[in-house]
Amino acid sequence: MNRTNIVVNLNEPLVFEQSAPGKSAYSLPPLDVEEVALDQIVDPKLIRSDIPGFPEISEVELIRHYTRLSTWNYHVDLGLYPLGSCTMKYNPKLNERVARIPGLATVHPLLNAPLAQGNLKILYRLQELLKEITGMAGVTLQPAAGSQGELTGILMVRAYHAARNKPRKYVLIPDSAHGTNPASATISGYEVKAIPSDQTGQIDLTSLKEKMSDEVACLMLTNPNTLGIFESRIQEIGRIVHEAGALLYMDGANFNALLGQTRPGDMGIDVLHLNLHKTFSTPHGGGGPGSGPVACQESLIPFLPVPIVAKDGDKFRLDFDRPQTIGRLHAFFGNFGMMVRALAYILSCGGDGLKQISETAVLNANYIRKRLADHYDLPYDTPSLHEVVFSDKRQERQGVKTLDIAKRLIDLGFHPPTVYFPLIVHGALMIEPTESAGKGELDEFIEAMIQIHRETVEEPAKVTGAPTSAKVARLDETRAARTPVLRWKARGKDEEKDEG
């Protein structure tokens, strides 16, 4: 099937350019009651007579304009979105239905606990299910993202050492870690020491032993790590860490690989975060709202953020009376709507369903790995779980780099995978199909990747010149991030000065 040209029209003018004086998006019959002038209700000083450049447009033009614009966006409802480490799985519509139930969607967060029992029960059930899924003793649902979960977890580690009057100085982090790990440790007041990976792609145990000391607060380990490789010596790692009096933090963003198979609590992990917007199918949105619950062992429970949802008999309440807490990380309870969706997901999958998710996610990634291994370089031959990382080593000889491959995929109708991460792989292409993709779609993606490899050899300009089907081809990504121009200004006297 040809998936190219999924975009309807790339030459959509701005809504301002479709404007013409006198067009209107509504028309009503003339008033048959007495008209009350606006300046009789509102202070005339506050009334604008004109909004410069305000577009005038008909309803049908307006609807078509935004509907066409929406087709420019690649999203999980459109096709495979194989961004490694991001777990861009399908967001079931059932979750959306549940989250829109009025008592859940419109309840005020300041409502007294006795009047919000159902809502608290939802939080409590999710809390308890996440304990069971992770094998941990305590959970907070408060953090709004994985990275905020890391911050929460490391602040708890800090409070744990402080409570023993043994504050420590360092956090050890493998060189394959997500950039948020060192950021969270640094914001928490620690110095970061990097641990290299060995030739199997796992953490180097010799280096870990060398760097471990009574000055180390914790090791932050991603498992499976960002190469998709399970740290199979996790118990030994736990021993090394605990013998030095340090704690073991697990970045659980890649939990989709482990769901229902094994539990961090059984591996000697002290504290971890999960991403509801990855493993538990809640939407990532345009940067949020996410949800990054933190689970911990008994020894860290006193330091969890407040409030915790507690249950007395059959009544639920918010427990603020926790003298050793690290405090609040988020207003109210965190992103409640995400928790509703995650609970709906867990309950609709059931225990066996959760297990099937990780099995299928791992199978899908390994299918891609196997079928692309003849065309793309695999920097590590250690078996991988839910994602596979290739390098651009073979294509680079023809002058084609990872970025070119990613851009060419756009022309072929797919969202590119994660690129240039993890940093330890030269020109990394990190592919995570998730369990949402069926075999047909995986095959189409694989064919597209093989086609790009073939083009690299036969007509590399096609790849290095990609994309040709997108509205914008190759952005200056640094400038786009650092000096974004997000405002459109009406053409007028400022025109010459305004780049936007």
Ligand X SMILES: *Cc1c(COP(=O)(O)O)cnc(C)c1O
Q: Please identify which residue in 152, 226, 391, 395 interacts with ligand X, judged by CB under 6 A.
A: 226
Q: By the 8 A CB rule, do 388 and 369 touch?
A: yes
Burial-class residue 3 by CB neighbours within 10 Å (0-12, 13-18, 19+). middle
In angstroms, rounded to a whole number, what is the distance separating the alpha carbons of residues 256 and 417? Answer: 17
In angstroms, rounded to a whole number, what is the distance separating the alpha carbons of residues 81 and 99? Answer: 24
Which residues between 394 and 453 bind ligand X (CB under 6 A)?
A: none
The reply on whether position 95 binds ligand X by CB under 6 A is no
Q: Which stretch binds ligand X (CB under 6 A): 205-213, 247-255, 386-394, 482-490?
A: 247-255
Q: Which stretch binds ligand X (CB under 6 A): 11-19, 139-147, 190-198, 257-265?
A: 139-147
The reply on whether position 142 binds ligand X by CB under 6 A is no
The reply on whether position 178 binds ligand X by CB under 6 A is yes
> Torsion over CA of 230, 235, 238 and 240, rounded to 10 degrees?
-110
- Say how far residue 131 (Cα) sits from the centre of its chain: 21
- Cα 392 to Cα 51, 108, 117, 404, 430, distances in angstroms: 52, 51, 54, 10, 11
161 contact partners, CB below 8 Å, separation of at least 6: 167, 168, 217
Nearest to 302 by CA among 130, 142, 156: 156
- Closest separation in Å from C-beta 254 to ligand X: 6
Q: Which single residue brings its beta carbon nearest to ligand X?
A: 146
- Closest separation in Å from C-beta 186 to ligand X: 15
Q: Please identify which residue in 180, 279, 364, 456 interacts with ligand X, judged by CB under 6 A.
A: 180
In angstroms, rounded to a whole number, what is the distance separating the alpha carbons of residues 65 and 290? Answer: 29
170 contact partners, CB below 8 Å, separation of at least 6: 190, 191, 192, 193, 211, 213, 215, 216, 217
The reply on whether position 290 binds ligand X by CB under 6 A is yes
Of 392 and 432, CB closest to ligand X: 432
Which residues between 252 and 271 bind ligand X (CB under 6 A)?
A: 253-254
Q: Which stretch binds ligand X (CB under 6 A): 3-11, 55-63, 143-151, 453-461?
A: 143-151
- Cα 389 to Cα 69, 90, 359, 386, 396, distances in angstroms: 33, 22, 19, 10, 16
Of 274 and 448, CB closest to ligand X: 274
Look at residue 172 and give its three-state secondary structure: strand
- Closest separation in Å from C-beta 366 to ligand X: 19
In angstroms, rounded to a whole number, what is the distance separating the alpha carbons of residues 430 and 126? Answer: 31
The reply on whether position 222 binds ligand X by CB under 6 A is yes
Q: Which stretch binds ligand X (CB under 6 A): 131-139, 195-203, 210-218, 250-258?
A: 250-258
Of 148 and 325, CB closest to ligand X: 148
Burial 217-230 (b: 16+ CB within 10 A, else e): bbbbbbbbbbbbbb
Of 95 and 226, CB closest to ligand X: 226
374 is written with which tokens? 């003849």
Q: Which stretch binds ligand X (CB under 6 A): 144-152, 167-175, 198-206, 466-474?
A: 144-152
The reply on whether position 185 binds ligand X by CB under 6 A is no
In angstroms, rounded to a whole number, what is the distance separating the alpha carbons of residues 66 and 73? Answer: 11
Of 171 and 466, CB closest to ligand X: 171
Of 88 and 448, CB closest to ligand X: 88
Write the binding mask 269 to 288 for ligand X: x where contact by CB under 6 A, - elsewhere: ------x-------------
Of 127 and 254, CB closest to ligand X: 254
Write the binding mask 37 to 76 for ligand X: x where contact by CB under 6 A, - elsewhere: ----------------------------------------
Taking CA 34 as the corner, what is the angle to CA 29 and CA 36, rounded to the nearest 5 degrees?
Answer: 105
Of 85 and 119, CB closest to ligand X: 85
315 is written with which tokens? 């009544």
Of 76 and 450, CB closest to ligand X: 76
- Closest separation in Å from C-beta 203 to ligand X: 14
**Total of residues contacting ligand X (CB under 6 A):** 15
Interface with ligand X by CB under 6 A: which residues?
Answer: 85-86, 145-147, 178, 180, 222, 226, 251, 253-254, 275, 290, 292
